[in-house]
């Protein structure tokens, strides 16, 4: 069994979508008993908000669903992250392009879309709620909750493949 899986969730400024992804995935991992085996962080592709807490609306909507994002602070994704993390998950296609362009050739991290394992939103971008209303923040939470649970299914199978074998 692998010691720990490191996941980095990435959006533009690291104050709305990626902190939501980080907080929800961390919460769900802890609830599944994977808190010691799965470490989740987030970062932004742009340095607009480095050092800032998540957007107040992000904090409020996450809190209403039982997620505490208050300790998070925005950071910028760096080339070093590609050697540290196992997964780097982009919230939309523009982030994915940026990540693929900055990834070193010897990157350890598997780079992909956050919604890749989603049954409902596979192939879609997580929309940026920053300039919208309440419904945008709720939609982000809906999308992130579903995809985060599916990522954890995959990671859990990676951590303990024997738990998912069918008996003959």
- Residues 26-54 have pLDDT tens digits of 999 999 999 999 999 999 999 999 999 99
Q: What is the pLDDT of residues 92-109, one digit of tens each?
A: 999 999 999 999 999 999
pTM equals: 0.94
Catalytic residue numbers read 11, 17, 128
> Across residues 11-15, what is the average pLDDT?
98
Per-residue pLDDT at 166:
47
Q: Is 4 exposed, middle or buried (0-12, 13-18, 19+ CB in 10 A)?
A: exposed
167, pLDDT greater than 50: no
Domains with residue ranges and CATH for the chain: 5-162 (3.40.50.2300)
Q: List Cβ neighbours of 126 (8 Å cut-off, separation of 6 or more).
A: 11, 17, 21, 91, 92, 114, 115, 140, 143, 144
pLDDT-above-70 percentage for the chain: 95
């Amino acid at each position: 069994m692998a010691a720990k899986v490191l996941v980095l969730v990435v959006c533009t400024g690291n104050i709305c979508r990626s902190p939501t992804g980080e907080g929800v995935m961390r919460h769900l991992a802890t609830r599944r008993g994977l808190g010691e085996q799965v470490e989740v962080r987030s970062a932004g592709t742009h340095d607009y908000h480095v050092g800032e807490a998540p957007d107040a609306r992000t904090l409020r909507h996450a809190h209403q669903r039982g997620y505490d994002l208050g300790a998070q602070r925005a950071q910028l994704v760096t080339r070093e992250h590609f050697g540290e993390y196992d997964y780097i998950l982009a919230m939309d296609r523009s982030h994915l392009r940026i990540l693929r362009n900055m990834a070193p050739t010897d990157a350890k991290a598997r780079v992909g879309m956050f919604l890749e394992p989603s049954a409902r939103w596979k192939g879609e971008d997580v929309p940026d709620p920053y300039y919208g209303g309440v419904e945008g923040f709720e939609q982000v939470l809906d999308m992130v909750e579903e995809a985060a649970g599916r990522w954890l299914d995959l990671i859990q199978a990676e951590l303990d493949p024997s738990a998912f074998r069918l008996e003959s």
